[in-house]
């Protein structure tokens, strides 16, 4: 399985692959559920190897560790999954 960091960077930098509609599903420990967010709401910082930021509905940035990502959807199809 491809590491999640590599997949997210491919979505970000591959102009053909990245044109699709992506959803990233991560485990929210407070809500104890998978939260799906559009890839466009993710901010990948250069040199960051442990997490990324998302912007929630209120505009507040939230840090999500890569190990909490559980699924990636491309055009409605599950293409990557990490089971607990």
What was the pLDDT predicted at 11?
96
Please report which confidence band the pLDDT of residue 5 belongs to, taking 50, 70 and 90 as the band edges: very high
Overall pTM > 0.75? yes
Q: Domains for the chain: give ranges and CATH numbers.
A: 4-81 (2.30.30)
Residue with tokens 């992506």: 22
Helix (H) or strand (E) holding 4: helix 4-13
What was the pLDDT predicted at 55?
82
Q: Are 38 and 22 in contact (CB under 8 A)?
A: yes
Residue 46 to residue 61: CA distance in whole angstroms: 16
Q: What is the pLDDT of residues 11-60, one digit of tens each?
A: 999 999 999 999 999 999 988 999 999 999 998 888 788 999 998 778 88
């Amino acid at each position: 399985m491809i590491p999640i960091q590599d997949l997210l960077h491919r979505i970000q930098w591959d102009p053909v692959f990245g044109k699709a509609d992506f959803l990233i599903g991560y485990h929210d420990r407070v809500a104890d559920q998978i939260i799906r967010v559009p890839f466009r709401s993710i901010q990948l910082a250069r040199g960051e190897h442990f997490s990324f930021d998302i912007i929630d509905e209120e505009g507040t940035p939230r840090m999500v560790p890569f190990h909490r990502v559980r699924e990636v959807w491309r055009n409605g199809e599950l293409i990557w999954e990490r089971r607990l």
